Chain A
Amino acid sequence: MVTVILGLPAARGERFSEEWAVTRGRIERVAAVPVSRDTDPAGAPRLSRGDG
């Protein structure tokens, strides 16, 4: 589905299945972490607190 929408070739790399199995586990574990909706996504971290 994703590849069709983005006009990408199907995932055919010889390591894709193995990598996807690992990635899927990561998605499940990350989704299971309770996170408050007040938590801003980090993005590129800007670590300065303005107190130099």
Chain B
Amino acid sequence: MAEPWALSASDAAAEIAAGRLSPLELLDATLDRIERIESRVQAWARVQAGDARGAARRLTELGRSGSHAGPLHGIPVGLKDIFYTAGLETSCGSRIMAGFVPAYDATAVARLRQAGAVVVGKTHTTEFASFDPSPARNPWALDHTPGGSSSGSAAALAARMCGGALGSQTSGSICRPAAFCGVVGLKPTFGRVSRHGVHPLAWTLDHPGPMARTVRDVAMLFDAIAGPDAADPTTLSTPAPPRAVAALDDARAAEAAVRGLRVGVPDRYFTDGLDPEGAAAYREALRALGDLGCRIDEVRLPDLFAAAMDAHELIHHVEAAAVHADTYRTRAGEYGHKLRAIIEAGFHVPAPAYVRAQQIRTLTIEAMRTVMGAVDVLATPSAPGPAPAGLAGTGSPVYNKPFSFLGFPSVTVPCGFTTGGLPLGLQLGGRPFEEVTILRLAAAYERATRWGARAPAL
């Protein structure tokens, strides 16, 4: 067996289920790993070793008695520091929130615990999940950004400091950092995962979701956190959540589902500004999807697509301004420059322009439903290139935000490396509530290419 901390969540869960590894042994190995490399990666806002040991000890005893808490029994996880955690500080990467200790867990956190996950701690986020960077670094090149806003979650996974993590995406905050750090991230359909207890950035664009090292690991977390929650009305009256792991583990059905899948390549936007190495990796990824039996067709994006991306930004800014209005009134100087500019601009957007932006959203969703009547999946690069050098920015969410605007699900999976050794990602977008379709394709691609198996040298 590999070092316990090096195991994927799926492999660790299998070892624990077989009695060859205990949750406490896995946690101790993970904490030791964190002790050795965290000072370089800086993925964690806070590690709760004592609480985590207590939970792992309880799960170890439960296992000895022949019981398992759930599919994530003993798996160490990191939580982006905008997810509320009962009794554990949640500071949202902001001075303003320093010392805030929620009285309850976010629904997604409670569900992870229920499934047996061990919360190691809170991972760094950009300030309020916006664009002012956190201290986190990219494990593949410590002088490069890990992306944002789920910076610490992506960095901790890539550095093998946890087996799974929670992130959130309002523009590109799951898929971008996952791609930059060479891990897998799923932005579920809007309404699939409860936002209850997740500090908002922009209510109608915020998507909590899982991040992990493999597609199957992401599916494990997704199965645990997805589903209706009375505390978040947007999750109600949605289709029953899929059993994603079961769908992936049914090898024959998964293979049949991928063969003949119609993969759409957008005619524009998703390659604007794409760098040459990213373009080469994207072309190669499309070829690999063809080799898997997919049919690759160009699709024409709706005429209003560019205006839709403007609409996204207006909605984002206005809602962020509304979220922060009361705090900004008295503590404007304590915001980072980027978020402050967003808030200030948001205050000045006329209300009819916000409503028009939401109308354009309605039209774009309908137009994209039509586009996706002809194809099952859209395949795009996850970012215009690898993680940019420097720690003052977090890279561009430009290719991810269409899926945040639409609410359609998207997943990123590693699709290669630059000559400088930085990971690149392939983004797959699907129809609403069809997470299983994109997860199956991502898993088949992952299995065929093995890009995700590489680990950074730390």
Decide: A35 near B337, CB < 8 A? Known: A6-B347, A9-B332. Answer: no
B344 touches A27 (CB 8 A): no
Decide: A15 near B237, CB < 8 A? Known: A30-B353, A33-B307. Answer: no
Tell me the bound Cα distance from A40 to B363 in angstroms.
Answer: 9
A42 touches B362 (CB 8 A): yes
Q: Contact partner of B358 among A14, A18, A41, A50, CB < 8 A?
A: A41
Q: How far is the CB of B314 from chain A (nearest CB, A)?
A: 6
What does the 1/0 interface line of B291-333 toward A look like (CB < 8 Å)?
0000000000000101100110110010000000100110010
Tell me the bound Cα distance from A45 to B356 in angstroms.
Answer: 15
Q: Contact partner of B349 among A12, A27, A29, CB < 8 A?
A: A27
Residues of B within 8 A of A46 (CB): 191, 234, 237-238
Residues of B within 8 A of A31 (CB): 352-353, 356
Nearest neighbor of B406 in chain A, beta-carbon distance: A45
Tell me the bound Cα distance from A18 to B337 in angstroms.
Answer: 12
B329 touches A9 (CB 8 A): yes
Q: Contact partner of A30 among B204, B310, B348, B365, CB < 8 A?
A: B310
B204 touches A11 (CB 8 A): no
Residues of B within 8 A of A33 (CB): 304, 307, 356, 360
A27 touches B358 (CB 8 A): no
Which residues of B196-242 are within 8 A (CB) of A? 203-204, 234, 237-240
A44 touches B337 (CB 8 A): no
Nearest neighbor of B329 in chain A, beta-carbon distance: A8
Tell me the bound Cα distance from A29 to B307 in angstroms.
Answer: 7
A42 touches B191 (CB 8 A): no
Q: How far is the CB of B349 from chain A (nearest CB, A)?
A: 6
Q: Contact partner of A45 among B311, B348, B352, B365, CB < 8 A?
A: B365
Residues of A within 8 A of B399 (CB): none
What does the 1/0 interface line of B411-432 toward A look like (CB < 8 Å)?
0000000000000000000001
Interface size on A, residues (CB 8 A): 38
Tell me the bound Cα distance from A37 to B317 in angstroms.
Answer: 24
Tell me the bound Cα distance from A16 to B338 in angstroms.
Answer: 9
B190 touches A47 (CB 8 A): yes
A41 touches B362 (CB 8 A): yes
Residues of B within 8 A of A40 (CB): 359, 362
Residues of B within 8 A of A43 (CB): 204, 358
A26 touches B341 (CB 8 A): no
B317 touches A23 (CB 8 A): yes
Tell me the bound Cα distance from A33 to B314 in angstroms.
Answer: 14
Tell me the bound Cα distance from A17 to B57 in angstroms.
Answer: 54
Residues of A within 8 A of B355 (CB): 41
B407 at interface, CB cutoff 8 A: yes
B314 touches A14 (CB 8 A): no
A52 touches B240 (CB 8 A): yes
What does the 1/0 interface line of B348-378 toward A look like (CB < 8 Å)?
1110110111111111010000000000000
A47 touches B191 (CB 8 A): yes
B191 touches A45 (CB 8 A): yes
Tell me the bound Cα distance from A15 to B132 in angstroms.
Answer: 12
Residues of B within 8 A of A20 (CB): 344-345, 348
Tell me the bound Cα distance from A35 to B361 in angstroms.
Answer: 11
B317 touches A30 (CB 8 A): no
Tell me the bound Cα distance from A15 to B130 in angstroms.
Answer: 15
Nearest neighbor of A52 in chain B, beta-carbon distance: B239
Beyond the given pairs A39-B363, A44-B234, 4 more chain A to chain B contacts, judged by CB atoms under 8 angstroms and listed by A's residue number, are A35-B363, A40-B362, A42-B358, A45-B406
8 chain-A/chain-B pairs, Cβ below 8 angstroms: A6-B325, A13-B341, A23-B345, A30-B310, A30-B357, A33-B307, A41-B359, A47-B238
